[in-house]
Amino acid sequence: MTSDCTEDDVRKMDIGDPLAAVREKFHLPAGVVYLDGNSLGAAPKAAFEELNAAAKSEWADQLIRSWQGAGWWALPETLGDLLAGLAGAQQGEIVVCDTTSSNLYKALHAALSLRPKRPVILTEAEGFPTDTYIAEGVKSVRENIELRLGSLDDNNIDELLDDSIAAVLINHIDYRTGAVRNMKQITKRIHAAGAIAIWDLCHSAGVYPIDLNGANVDFAAGCTYKYLNGGPGSPAYIFAATRHHGELSQPLSGWWGHMEPFAFEPTYTAAKGIRRLLCGTQPILSMRALKAGLDIYADLDMVDVRQKSMSLTNLFINLIDQECQGHDVEVASPRDARARGSQVSLSHANGAPIIAALTARGVIGGFRAPNVMRFGFAPLYLSHHDVWRAVAHLKEVLVSEEWRQDRFNIPGHIS
C-alpha cells in the first residue's frame, strides 16, 4: 500500500492495546486473518480443556453423578449469570439453553400471554430471517394472531405502533449492515404503545455494551457462537425481566422447566423464576465449551472492547477508501462508528467470488446475497495490523481480478 496511512502507522495503533494479551487465549491458525467472528467465533484454548475434563473425567469416570457433582444441572443458570454481566441484567434473569429460534418462540408466546387482548406481532421486514420464520410459527398455532412486518428503526417505529400490537421483535444490530438500534429509546416507545419489547442480541453480545435493565427491556434472546466464542451450535440464551417471572407462560413445557423435575408428576407446573423458560435436557458438552468463552470476559472492561471495536472498524473503512477506490466497492455500513456494531459490510456486484478469493488467501469474511461482503471484527483476538493485511489482500484481489477464476465462481453457500 502506498497511501497516507502506512503499515508503520497501523502497527503503532496496536501499541498499548489493553486487549492485546487476550489474543493468546484463542487458537488462531497461522497466517489467517479471521473476519467472520460475526458468524462463528474463534476457539478459546480453554475450551479444549473444558471439553476434555467434561468428557474424560466427568462423563467417562463420574458418569451420571456429574449432574450434581460437576454442576451439570445448574449450568443453564450458572452460565446465564455469567452472561448477565455482559448484558446489563440481574442474576437470575438469563438462562442459557436451546437455540435462538426456540427461545424467540418462547419469548413471543410469553409476550402474547402478557397482552392477551392484543392480536398483533410486529417484527422486521428485513431482519434476520429466522425471527420472521419463528413469528410465523407462533401465528400458526394461536388463534386470531396477526403478523405485521415493517422497517423498524429509530426514525419510523412510531408510525407502526398502535394499541393492537402485543409484541415487537427487533434486532439490536442489523445482521447485514451492522447498524445499531437505540435500545433504550425504542423500548420506551414500544412501552408507550402498551406493547412488549423483545430484542435479538445475536450481533451485539460480546462486542457492544448492552444494558437490558437500563433500557427496561422485557425479553431478549441471542446466540453464543458468534462474538461469545462458544463453538458451533453452542446453546443460546433467553432473558426475562424479573417483573415478568410470576406471570409469563411459554408452551415448551419440558421437564427441565418443571417446578419439581424429579417428582415426575403427571401434569406440568412451571418452575419459579428464570428456570420456567427451560425446556428439555441441555447439551452439557457444548455448555462447557461455552463456559470457556464466557470466562474470558471476567477480567475485561466492555468499554475497552467497544473502543477497540470502533477503532478496528474505523481503520478498515478508512483503508477501503484509501486503497480500493475505482473498484466498485461501496461501504454499506454506517460510517459513524457510534451507529455501527463490530461489523463492516461492503457491497460489490461480484461479492461472492471476491470473498471466495479472499478465503483462499487466508482472509476469511462472509457473504450475504445479493451483494453484501460482511467483515466481523472481534476485538478480543484481532489487531489493527490484521486489518491492514486484510485490506492489502482485498486490494490485490480487486486489482488482479483474481476473483474471476473459475474456482471462485462455483455456486454454493459462503458463510
200 assigned to active site: yes
- Spot the catalytic one: 226, 276, 308, 361: 226
Report DSSP state, residue 404: G
272 assigned to active site: no
Q: Cβ neighbours of residue 30 under 8 Å, at least 6 residues apart?
A: none
Q: Cβ neighbours of residue 236 under 8 Å, at least 6 residues apart?
A: 96, 97, 98, 99, 100, 102, 103, 221, 222, 223, 224
176 assigned to active site: no
Q: Are 53 and 72 in contact (CB under 8 A)?
A: no
User: Residue 343's beta-bridge partner residues?
Assistant: 376
Enter the C-alpha cell of residue 341. 456494531
291 assigned to active site: no
- Spot the catalytic one: 34, 105, 128, 208: 128
Q: What is the strand order of the sheet 120-124 is part of?
A: 94-96, 237-240, 219-222, 196-200, 165-171, 120-124, 146-150
Q: Are 294 and 83 in contact (CB under 8 A)?
A: yes
- Spot the catalytic one: 34, 225, 367, 381: 225
Q: What is the separation of C-alpha 29 from the centre of its chain, rounded to a whole number of angstroms?
A: 23
- Spot the catalytic one: 200, 237, 275, 297: 200
- Spot the catalytic one: 374, 375, 381, 386: 374
105 assigned to active site: no
Biggest distance spanned by C-alpha atoms of the chain? 73
Map residue 26 onto helix, strand or coil.
strand
Active site (catalytic) residues: 128, 200, 225-226, 374
